[in-house]
Amino acid sequence: MEDLTSPAPPAIEETAGDRGAPWQTIAAAEPPTAHRRQPSVKTVIVRLSAGFVAVLVVVAVLGALAAQWLAEREAVNDAANVTDVLAEAVVQPSLTTGLADGDADAVAEFDRTVRDRILGEDVVRVKLWSPDGVVLYADEPQLIGRTFVLDGAQQEALAEPQTRAAISDLSEEENEFESGSRLLEVYRPVWAPDGRELLFEVYLPYEPVAVRSGELWRGFTGLTTSSLLLLALLTAPIVWGLLVRVRGEERRRATLLQHAVDASDDERRRIAGTLHDGPVQELVASSFAAESGADAAERRGDRQAADELRGVAASVRGNIRVLRSLLVDIYPPGLAAAGLAQAVNDLAATARTRGVDVTVELGDDIDSLSADDQRLIHRVAQEALRNVAKHAAPCDAWIRVETDGPDVVLEVGDDGPGFDQTDAGGVQSGHLGVRVIADLAEQAGAELSLATAPGQGTRWRLRLPRGAADGAAT
C-alpha cells in the first residue's frame, strides 16, 4: 500500500493556477434529480383548479373588452343612423342662407328648432360648422362665432360627404364646455339653400354604451362560464381516473425497475463471487507456486530459472490487482469491505503496469465517507487513470482526495502532453472516454472540472458535497 502519511499536497486551486491552465466546468453541481418527488394527486388537482380559475379570469377580462367593443360599435352605428335622420328630417329643412351667413335672427330661429326637436336625453350638444372651422351655431352660445381647426375626421366628412361617428374623449378645445369624460360624436355634411356645404355635429351621451356593454358582458361571461363549468364537471372523472392510472403505472414501473436493479445486483454479486473464489484464488496460488519454484531454483543454483519464475509471479500479482479492480467495478459494494484507500491504490498499481508512475495522496477520513460517495470517487478516479494510461503514458500522475469544508475534492492529474482546452466540448460528447464520469458527476449533483493545455498536462477535479451521491450512483 502507498504511504498515506506523505506531506500535505498544495491546494488544488493553486496547483491549477501554477500550471497556468484554467479550470473549465464539464458537469455543473446541481441537486441530484433521482429523488425529486412526483407531485401528488392532490397537488395536480390544485394546479388544475388554479388553471381553471385563471382561465375564468382571462375569459372574464376578454369578455369585458369584447363586450365594450361590441357595445361601442352598436352605439356608433345607432348614433350615425340617428344623426342621418335628424339631418334629413330636421336640420336640412331648417337651414337658411342667413344662418350660413351668421345672421343673428336666423341663428335664433334655428336655435328654437334645435331645442324643440333635437336636444334632449338622447342628444346633449348640437353644432353647425362652416368649412373653414367657424362655429355658425351651437346650443352653447359661447361657442358661436369662434373658429377652431377642423380635425381629420371633420375634414374627411366634408371632403367625401359621409357620416362619421366615433367615441370622443372631449380633450379638444372646442369641447371645453362638455361635462363627463366621453361622448358619442357624429359628423355629417348638410347644405344651405344656396348650395354651400356645412358640417352638422351632434354629441350623444355615453351612458347607454356602458349599460349595453354590461348586458353583453353578462350574457357572454355567463354562457362561457357555464360552458367551462360543465366541461370541468364532465372531464373531472376522466382526469381523476387518468391520474390514478398514471400513479399506479408509476408504482408498477418503480417496482419493476427495483426488481431489475436487484436482479442485476444479484448477478453482479454472483459473477464477482465466482471470480474471487475461482480465478483470483487460483492466480494467488499460482503466484505462491511461482515464488516457491523461484526459491527452489535459487537453492539449486539456477539463477536464470529463479528470475524467470519471479517474473512470472510478479506478472500474476499484477493480474490479481487488475482482477481486484475489476471486481470492485463489477460489484461496487465490495468497496465497503476493501475500503476506498485500498481500491484507489489498486487502481494506481494497475496504472503503473501501463507506464504511469502514480502517486496517491489520501486524506485521513476518506473511509468515513458514505458508500455512494466512495463509489463515485472510485469510478471517476478509475476512468481518469484509464485515460492517462491511454493518452499520456509514459508519464507521472497523481491522485489526491481531500476535504474542503463540506465538500470532498478528488483530483487526478498527469504531466503528459495535455491538449487544447477548446476541445472540452468533444470531451463531453465522448472524446477521451470520459462521458461516463461527466454523467455520474451530474447525476450525483457534483461538479466536474477540467484543466489542461498543450504541454501542461491534464487535471480532472471532482468537487462532491458530502452525501450528495447517496442514491444517485449506480
Give CA angle at 403 (400, 408), nearest 5°.
80
Question: Which of 46-55, 77-86, 268-277 reaches the highest mean pLDDT?
Answer: 77-86
Query: Mean pLDDT over residues 389-418, rounded?
Result: 87
Is the pLDDT confidence value at 379 over 90?
Answer: no
Distance CA(210)–CA(107), nearest Å, equals 35
Domain 46-205: homologous superfamily in CATH: PAS domain (3.30.450.20)
Q: Which three cell numbers stand for residue 265?
A: 445486483
Within 8 A by CB and 6+ apart from 135, the residues are 127, 128, 129, 143, 144, 145, 146, 147, 148, 174
The CATH code of the domain at 1-30+355-474 is: 3.30.565.10
Nearest-10 crossing angle of helices 371-391, 435-444: 160
Q: Averaged over 144-151, what is the pLDDT?
A: 89
Beta-bridged to residue 360, according to DSSP, are 399
Q: What percent of the chain has pLDDT over 70?
A: 84
pLDDT of residue 16: 41
Structure confidence at residue 429 (pLDDT): 47
Q: Which residue has the higher pLDDT, 372 or 8?
A: 372
What the block records as the C-alpha cell of 452 is: 489542461
Task: Report pLDDT for 12.
Answer: 40
For position 333, what pLDDT does the model report? Answer: 55
The per-residue pLDDT for 112 is 93
> For the chain, what are the domain ranges?
1-30+355-474, 46-205
Mean pLDDT, rounded, of the chain: 79
Which whole number is the average pLDDT over 135-153? 89
pLDDT at 32 over 50: no
For 361, other C-beta atoms within 10 Å of its C-beta total 18
Q: What share of the chain is helix, strand, coil (3-state, %, to 5)?
A: 60, 15, 25
Question: How many Å apart are CA 439 and CA 435, to the nearest integer?
Answer: 6
How many angstroms separate the CA atoms of 248 and 251, rounded? 5
Mean pLDDT for the stretch of residues 274-299: 83
- Does pTM surpass 0.85? no
